[in-house]
Amino acid sequence: MTAPLVFIDGDQGTTGLQIQDRLRGRGDLRLLTLPEAERRDPAHRAQALNQCDIALLCLPDAAACDAVAMVRNPAVRLIDASSAHRTTPGWVYGLPELCPGQPARIAAATRISNPGCYPTGALLLLRPLVDAGLLPAELPLAIHAVSGYSGGGKARIAEVQAGGAAPFLAYGLGLDHKHVPEIAQHAGLQARPIFLPSYGSFAQGIVLTIPLHLDALPGRPDAAALQAALAAHHAGQAHVQLQPLATAADAVTLDPTALNGSDSIRLQVLHHPGHRQAVLAAVFDNLGKGAAGAAVQNLDLVLGALALRAAA
């Protein structure tokens, strides 16, 4: 069997380069690359997109939509790392840990939308609690997140490297960030959450936190119930590390760079029993589980399905 041909459209961007690093030296696939002079040429890109078995789109949203329109070969499978198709009907959401059966849906799909970096953390904390009935879909939520400056793309990286960037930057204060519909839809929320993102002065990594008043939840559960729901949902998931339940006495701190270079995510419930308050927390690499690592995880699911089909 000839190894599947994989084309990364946008292989010189931050995510594209990270994916290349992860795929280098693998023998279960072949990488199709275009010479520098052909990378921006629509005709050559269209040829590559229709020639490959699997295309990973590491492009801005508009360019990703253009790339999808170029695909005429119905056998080509697409994994889109942009935010263009994350709530689009007909596209499978590429977060394998989202719910039971999601890996199989991804493996069988021809159109897969890679999740956003921030939504990855929010969803892996929220969806298990919504599904368990602990978190009502109509509950108003606030999500706070700090990312390394690489999350801002080439423009933000260049600004930092030129010495012109503030050490901390809160943004999305118009409360209309593009990640909000993605989080609401895939978490099963009816109330639009408030999402407050920011950039720190470090290169990569994310800390995302969601505060909760336990007495505002149905049945007034304790933090141990939240912990148990997360543990049940994420049991056996290779890329999810659930930390022990923690209180103020544990003096926990969250380092956004703790999992840099990893494709895993670390989840934790922190609480104060007396105050009946809790914080859901996620730490992960915005370029790993938040981008390139997630794309390769989805690619591996598709490759596995293709291998099974070829062996049948």
Catalytic residues: 117
- The Cα–Cα gap between 84 and 62 comes to 7
Burial class (CB in 10 A: 0-12, 13-18, 19+), 26: middle
E strand or H helix at 267: strand 265-272
Q: Which amino acid is at 223?
A: A
Taking only Cα atoms into account, the Rg of the chain, rounded to an integer number of angstroms, comes to 20
DSSP E strand stretches across 35-122: 54-57, 77-80, 92-93, 111-113
Helix axis angle for 42-51 and 61-70, nearest 10°, is 60
Contact present, 32 and 55 (Cβ < 8 Å): no
Which residues, in sequence order, are bridge partners of residue 268? 281
- How buried is 291 (Cβ within 10 angstroms: 0-12 exposed, 13-18 middle, 19+ buried)? buried
